[in-house]
Amino acid sequence: MEINTTRETDFYIIHITGDLDASSCIALDKAIAEAAAGGEKKLLIDCTDLHYISSAGLGVFMSYLQDFEAQAISMTLYGVNTKVQKVFQILGLDALINIVNNKEEAKQLANG
């Protein structure tokens, strides 16, 4: 798995490539934590190249929900493939995490 970060105006984008599992989720957790600690308020998670997600990977996203709500930080996933989206749906996590089709929708949602 590979994590790349970029900034587009008010948006901090974390791009995930590969499989997000127990061994690789530490890098994602670090990237999200660093963004929040750096004062980022609009996190966009680019999942267009995410092929697989394990329960550990899901746990990374879930671990930030309550803190981000309290800190007024928005986190939106986009470009999630059907296989990965089904994992979120089966567990009911799609009701808790913002998931949209593309970057433009993610930006619109983050802007409220």
Is the Cβ–Cβ distance between 44 and 31 less than 8 Å?
A: no
Work out the average pLDDT over 53-81. 96
Tell me the pTM. Answer: 0.95
- pLDDT of 50: 98
Is the Cβ–Cβ distance between 61 and 75 less than 8 Å?
A: yes
Work out the average pLDDT over 41-68. 96
- pLDDT of 89: 93
Domain of residue 43 covers 2-110
Structural domain total, the chain? 1
Determine what percent of the chain is predicted with pLDDT higher than 90: 99
Query: Which two tokens mark 56?
Result: 């550990």
Kindly tell me if the per-residue pLDDT of 112 is higher than 90: no
CATH, residue 98: 3.30.750.24
Alpha-carbon radius of gyration of the chain: 13
Residue 61: pLDDT band (50, 70, 90) is very high
Is 58 in a helix, a strand, or coil? helix
